[in-house]
Structure formats: C-alpha cells, structure tokens
Structure 1
Amino acid sequence: MRKTTKIYGSPIDIVTMESAVERFKQLLDRSSFSFVCTPNTEIVMMAKEDEELTEVLKLSDMNIPDGIGLIIASKIHRLGLVERVTGIDLMGEILKFCNYSRKSIYIFGGKPGVAKRAVHNILEKYPGIEVKGYRNGYFKKDEEKNIIENINKLSPDILFVALGAPKQEKWIYKHRKELKAKIAMGVGGCIDIWAGTAKRAPKIFRILGLEWFYRLIKEPSRFKRMMVLPKFMIKVLTSKNISN
C-alpha cells in the first residue's frame, strides 16, 4: 500500500530505495499509464507558488524524496520519511532491472547528442536493455505532435524525460493521456551524467547530503537558485506545521 506524507502541500512517498524500486515494478505491471516525479526542496518550494505543478505532484503515481532538505524537514516535524532516494540512483536501479528483465526504454531530452551518448554508455553497461529510441529535448511547438507519435509508434516500457524541472513533469502530465509507454519518469540532469557530460558529486558529498554545495562550487551561477535551500530551512524551522 502506498504511504505518503505532505510537505507544504506536495505529497512525498515514504519510501526507501528498495521499496521505490518495488513500487516502480508494480507500476510497470499496470495496464494504464503511470508517471514518477523526483521532487527535491526546490521543486517543493516551486509548487507552493505554482498550482499546475502542485496538481502534477498530487496526481503522479510516485514522488520520491530527492533532496536532503526534505529528509531534514521530515525529521524535524516527524513526517516519516526514511531516507533520501535520488533520481539518478533510482534510474540506475531501474536500468539494472531492465537489463535482466529485457524491458525497453526511450530517452527524450538533453542537448543535441547527449541522449545518443547516454544510450551508448547505458548499453555498454546493460546490454540486455532494448533501447527503442532517443531524441534531444530541443523542439518547436509544431514538432511536439510528431515526437509523441514517434514515441507511441515505438511503444517503450519506460520513457525517461529529461527536459529539466518542472518542464519535464508538466510535459509528462500534459500528455499523459496520449503517451503509449507503460511509465514515464522525469530524470533531468541524469542523462548528462550517463552521457559523461556532467559528473556526480564525490561520494563524501553525497553521503553528507552536500551535493547541492558541490554543484554550487562547480557552477557559481547557480547561487540564486540555491538560495531556495536556506529559505526552505528557515521556513521549516519557524513553522509549526509543514504538512499542509
């Protein structure tokens, strides 16, 4: 049975990596379309001011807690979140599952050439995966119909969408009744990591929950975006109830 909590109105699934993978497998077995979101602190704060994004998170089939801030907030307010489940790690576990279960994937998003490189590297590690196709994330409005028709023609088990948050979540939600994949998941910069065009933070930063700080060191231009983290923590510390 699905268990969730809410942080500032956004439902977050109470999962471990193991239970998130099991939930994903259950969704794959459904006859209907499902979609998975990977909200972090920034997304939760965006949703406070964005009704459409809030609606997306409320109607998704799983929202993993991809952000150390969410875990800290949960501990302070006793909301029940167990551990951080990152999108990149969940994607890795999904690909591992697809390798031995012979599931198919389609990658949509990233800069030109990135999805192709990601597919190459994924197949080198997991040759049992069937890659139905891939496409970069740069398109005009009048190209959207053809993109969806191509995805539907290939009918992958899993559609990974890497358009950046919250664009990818809204895109999946908007087209959820058209897409002929079993499940779609917004994966953002995960495709860059698989392509080798971006690197994950060193393990010690990940263990300490400081990936955001590593990214800030590497990309000082992210400073303005990163200011949402201290704002979030101040709100958490000064609010009596964050679960509504």
Structure 2
Amino acid sequence: MENVIRIQICNVPVDSLTMDQTVDLIDKSIQRKESLHHVVVNAAKLVNAQRDPELRDSIVDCDIINADGQSIVWAARFLKQHLPERVAGIDLMENLVALAHKKKYKVFFLGAKQEVVAKVVAIYKEKYGENIIAGFRNGYFGKEDELDIAQQIRDSNADMLFVAISSPKKEIFLNKYKSEMKVPFIMGVGGSFDVVSGKIKRAPLWMQEICLEWFFRTMQEPGRMWKRYLTTNIAFVKILFQERMKLMRKSS
C-alpha cells in the first residue's frame, strides 16, 4: 500500500496503521474494486511464521498487515520500532460490517461450525438487515472442496470476505485462492465468529490492554489452549530477546 510505513518484527512485516486508517484504506480499495488481502499478526502467528515458510509467505503477500495483539505493539517498542496502536481483528471486522451497512457492501462469512456461522449471520441481519449478506458457509472442509468453495464465494459477488478458520489454514487458503474468488477485500478473523455468536466471551478491556487476553481465553478452554499459549508465549519472548541482542550488537 502506498504511503504506509511497514516495519519488521522478527522478520515478519507489520504495517504502522491505526484502526481508522485501516478502515479508510479498505473502503477506498472496495470503491475502486481493487483486490486487497488483509491479515492480522499476534504473538502465536509471529512465532509460527519463524518455522513455517508457507505461513510466512502468506503473511508477506498480504496488502495490509495489522498488529492484532497488544503484545505486538509492545514488541515493536522493545525492538525500537513504532506501531501507533493494535488493530484487533475482531474489532476491525465489526467496524467493516458496520461500513458494509453504511456503504451497501455485501459480506460473505466462511468458517466455524455451522450453528456458529449461522448465528453470526442472524445477528448481523437483525442489526443491519439482510442486504449485507452475500452468503455463508461453515469452515469444515477438505482440500478437495477448496476450489468449489472459492467459486461459491466468487459467484456470491461479495465485496468483503471474512474467514474464521484456525492458522495457518486460513492464511494459506486465502493466499491460494484470492485470484479465483475475486472479492475486493478478504480477511482472516480466527475465532471472531465464536465471540460474535456468544460461544466464547471476549476478555475485558483492561485484560486486553495489559496483554492478558490469552489468559482469559485459556480459562475458558484450559484443556485445548493452555499448551498452545504456554509454548508460543515462551517462544515469543525468546525470539524478541534474540532480536534485541542483535540490535545491541549492531549499535555497539
């Protein structure tokens, strides 16, 4: 994107953008019917990108890369870089659905269980009316189904696509099929459908601000989440200190 400062955090690019700037760029891109691929980066994704070249490539190929977690904003400061604020994926999605209502854009929702994505669509229909919905589908499918799904999304004439599938599957799917789908704006939103539907509660704002969303999520699903967050958080801190040491050696 023109005139956007892109920094590097542990060899992963992140754009120095506010929420308002991000929404404005997306809106202008949709108006021009341009293709814009968006991704958010959190600590876990940054760690996984170090050892998964396909995931890293799918991030680098995106047009806008936002800092999803407060940990990424803090990491930038620790590495003498600047990010103005976090642009959480779920907050951006909510703002863009509101924008779709205002500008008469159409949205396709892909991901989560059938009952979850159907509830998300029902909630947005009640709030904004049926006209914003281009279509929806659950996120349980195999590789043999991917092309058919991409063509279904293309045929919906959606202006925005939100994909709520776990990483790295959603990043790789979007990067692989974005030319086929021909949607002006595409974005992976992780577990956002679960939050919007009410299946999962979001951490209070004070926990978000001090980088404890991961702890709140772990308390809701300890059996599934504790190991993931423990290993990625430790790896994230280790990688940051390694990068800081490199900076200190360069400046000495």
1:240 equivalent in alignment to 2:245: yes
Structure 2 CA distance for aligned equivalents of residues 240 and 83 of structure 1:
25
The within-5 A match list for 1:115-194 is 115-127=117-129, 129-194=131-196
C-alpha displacement of 1:126: 2.1
Question: Residue by residue, what CA displacement relative to the aligned partner does 1:190-234 show, whole Å, maximum 9, x if unpaired?
Answer: 111122211111222123221111112222221211121132123
1:116–1:82 Cα change, 3 Å? same
1:81 equivalent in alignment to 2:83: yes
C-alpha displacement of 1:129: 4.9
Percentage of matched positions with identical amino acids: 31
Structure 1 CA distance for aligned equivalents of residues 219 and 196 of structure 2:
21
Q: Is the 8 A contact 1:100 1:128 kept in 2?
A: no
Counterpart selection for 1:25 from 7, 24, 27: 27
Q: Give the 3-state SS of the residue equivalent to 2:67 in structure 1.
A: coil
C-alpha displacement of 1:142: 2.9
Match of 1:70 in 2: 72
Q: Is the 8 A contact 1:109 1:136 kept in 2?
A: yes
Structure 1 CA distance for aligned equivalents of residues 166 and 136 of structure 2:
16
Q: More displaced, 27-36 or 161-170? A: 27-36
1:241–1:73 Cα change, 3 Å? farther
Counterpart selection for 2:217 from 215, 218, 221: 215
Task: Read off the aligned partner of 1:61 and give its amino acid letter.
Answer: D
1:231 equivalent in alignment to 2:235: yes
Q: Is the 8 A contact 1:77 1:241 kept in 2?
A: no
Task: Read off the aligned partner of 1:225 and give its amino acid letter.
Answer: R
**Consecutive aligned runs of 4 or more in structure 1 exceeding 6 Å deviation:** none
C-alpha displacement of 1:48: 0.7
Counterpart selection for 2:92 from 72, 90, 98: 90
Match of 1:40 in 2: 42
C-alpha displacement of 1:38: 1.0
Structure 2 CA distance for aligned equivalents of residues 109 and 52 of structure 1:
21
Structure 2 CA distance for aligned equivalents of residues 138 and 76 of structure 1:
39
Q: Is the 8 A contact 2:9 2:79 kept in 1?
A: no
Structure 1 CA distance for aligned equivalents of residues 79 and 214 of structure 2:
22
C-alpha displacement of 1:240: 2.6
> How many pairs align?
242
Structure 2 CA distance for aligned equivalents of residues 224 and 197 of structure 1:
21
Q: Is the 8 A contact 2:26 2:36 kept in 1?
A: no
Q: Give the 3-state SS of the residue equivalent to 1:188 in structure 2.
A: coil
Match of 2:61 in 1: 59
1:65–1:35 Cα change, 3 Å? same
Please give the TM-score of this superposition, normalised by the length of structure 1: 0.93
Question: Residue by residue, what CA displacement relative to the aligned partner does 1:76-131 show, whole Å, maximum 9, x if unpaired?
Answer: 12211111110011111111111111110000111122111100111222227520
Q: Is the 8 A contact 1:205 1:211 kept in 2?
A: yes
Q: Structure 1 or 2: larger helix share?
A: 2
Structure 2 CA distance for aligned equivalents of residues 21 and 120 of structure 1:
24
